[in-house]
Amino acid sequence: MKIDRVISKPLACGINLLNKNKGARNFILINFDKEVSSISIYEDSSLVSLNFFPFGTNSIYKDICQLCSLKENETRTILKKN
């Protein structure tokens, strides 16, 4: 298999957002995955900054569980209802 190019998920999401919102030129895209989060900054429809952080939704769920004395499945059920 020949690979012509590799595109990061934040870049692909930004391209998708630009295609859906033709007027968007300057924006910030924040993405929370299970283990890693990212912030991508676009200026004049171009990606100018991309940063990854070693926390995601799993970290947020665990923090809520500890602060509220809930089990993880209870926390997920409550958050999915809203």
Each residue of 42-52: pLDDT tens digit?
Answer: 999 889 999 99
Backbone angles phi, psi at 58, to 5 degrees: -60, -40
pLDDT above 70: percentage of residues in the chain: 99
Domains recognised in the chain with CATH numbers:
9-81 (3.30.420.40)
| Spatial contact of 56 and 32, defined as CB atoms under 8 Å apart | yes
pLDDT in tens, the chain (82 residues): 899 988 888 888 888 888 888 888 899 999 989 999 999 999 998 899 999 999 998 998 899 999 999 998 888 888 887 5
